[in-house]
Structure 1
Amino acid sequence: MSLPLSSSPIRCLIVDDEPLAHQVLKQFIAQTPGLVLGGQCRHAMEAHDHLRQHPVDLLFLDIEMPLITGLHFLRTLPTPPQTILTTAYREYAYEGFELNVLDYLLKPFSYERFAKAVARYQPPAAALAPAEPEGHLLLKEQGSLLKVPHRDILYVEGCKDYVKVVTSAKTYLHHETMKGMVELLGAPFVRVHRSFIVAAAHLKLLQPEQVVLSTGEEIPVGQSYKADLLTFFKK
């Protein structure tokens, strides 16, 4: 059988009051790659205490047990593991599937039927890392502040106390030094000349005296910047 791809073993918990059921499930888990036995409990109260200290991924749960039935126990769990019901009673099937169980195994069941049930397991979706905020420049435009994303900038050209910020759509004049622009723009940009900073994403060709951008524009390369620029291209 093939399990869904998971970065770590699937931890299983057996909850059943029958010793024979434990023996069978323990054997089936042991012979299934990707499954590991995380615990064995004889009744729901024991399972409740186990889960508080040892979370599991997959629960093999009997229904008819002393004190609390498996279905009642499942309803009490705020975030239950993915669950496969194991029982000798057919009449609980509908109620079980209302609780979104993966499968309903009728005892006695074969390894093939066990494997089919386990194959329904789905690894939990990985938590998405929060996206890093997109870099941008704030430029003055007709008395207002304009937000220009870094991705739109092709290059920056120094003009004494000002710089020209060149995008594919427009050129902006901004009161800032080249040194200040290097600090503002950061890693996505590389200085190639005392008067030019280019967007790394738009660098296409490195030639002896210039770089060519993806737009076809040619930017001169200063002698003192060649070594760093060559290192950048090699990376």
Structure 2
Amino acid sequence: MKVWKCIIADDEPLARELISDYVAKVPFLDLKGAFTNAWEVRDYLRTNTVDLLFIDIEMPGLDGLTFIKSYPIQPKVIFITAHRKYAVEAFEVRALDYLLKPISFERFLKAVNELDTKSSEASIPSKHIFISIDRQQFKVALDSILYIESKGDYLKFIMQEGKPLITKMTLKSLDLPDNFTQIHRSFIVNEDKIEAFQKDKVKVGEDWLTISRSFRRNISFGG
């Protein structure tokens, strides 16, 4: 059984104590720390790695959602909050679950049991992803994507057929297979769809995309 290292971030002492007690009851969870705000989590993650973060959303100084969106290296996330209004944003950053306070142990256990399920699924390459458009989750086949362009807080999926799909996500929030390669801070390309390339650019569909110097080490196509 895999043991998942986890930490907690919540400014409410009772909430930290409750989640700590729940974690202690689950044999495949190993609590490494409990923090009062996202800044403390940031400092901890600079020198430590964890598999799972339980984090409140409304915290002083730096809220949980902003922290997850801005931090480059992320564990799996389960949000714990008293507010329903952040649910859509939470799942846009690929949260494992969204727990509303007060949290029962039964509901907590249901959330963490997903860890084993998703870990097993991860060994089987996915053939699709879900993206959120107009508050609905749409299933998109990976082999239908030519490339993905970042535009601030939004992504544009350029498709093999049909119009581009636009969603509020960031490149770092994507979980894509190895044939998707980042060639620029604004572009991820599907290597299977590359038609031609040069040292500093690549053709995908009808478009030539720039390969930036800092991402050339990522390139595996062309030998």
How does the TM-score come out when normalised to structure 1?
Answer: 0.49
> 1:138-183: CA deviations, max 9, x gaps?
xxxxxxxxxxxxxxxxxxxxxxxxxxxxxxxxxxxxxxxxxxxxxx
Residue of structure 2 in register with 1:111 after alignment: 105
Matched, 1:52 2:80: no
Unmatched segments (≥5 aa) in structure 2: 124-223
Which residue identity is paired with 1:39? Answer: G
User: Secondary structure of the equivalent of 1:120?
Assistant: helix
Runs of 4+ in 1 over 3 A off after TM superposition: 122-126
User: Secondary structure of the equivalent of 2:114?
Assistant: coil
Q: Rg bigger for which structure?
A: 1
The alpha carbon displacement at 1:123 in A equals 3.6
Which residue identity is paired with 2:57? Answer: I
Counterpart-to-counterpart distance in 1, 2:34 and 2:49: 13
> 1:40-60: CA deviations, max 9, x gaps?
111011110011111110100
Residue of structure 1 in register with 2:74 after alignment: 80
Which residue identity is paired with 1:50? Answer: Y
Which residue identity is paired with 1:17? Answer: D
Which residue identity is paired with 2:30? Answer: V
Counterpart-to-counterpart distance in 2, 1:29 and 1:19: 15
How does the TM-score come out when normalised to structure 2?
Answer: 0.52
Calculate the aligned-residue CA RMSD, in Å.
Answer: 1.5
The alpha carbon displacement at 1:76 in A equals 1.3
Q: How many residues align?
A: 120
Residue of structure 1 in register with 2:9 after alignment: 15
Residue of structure 2 in register with 1:98 after alignment: 92
* % identity of equivalent residues: 47
User: Secondary structure of the equivalent of 2:80?
Assistant: strand
Unmatched segments (≥5 aa) in structure 1: 127-235
The structure 1 residue matched to 2:58, chosen from 58, 64, 71, is: 64
User: Secondary structure of the equivalent of 1:119?
Assistant: helix
**Counterpart mapping for 1:1-40 below 5 A:** 5-6=1-2, 9-40=3-34
Counterpart-to-counterpart distance in 2, 1:106 and 1:63: 11
Counterpart-to-counterpart distance in 2, 1:113 and 1:38: 22
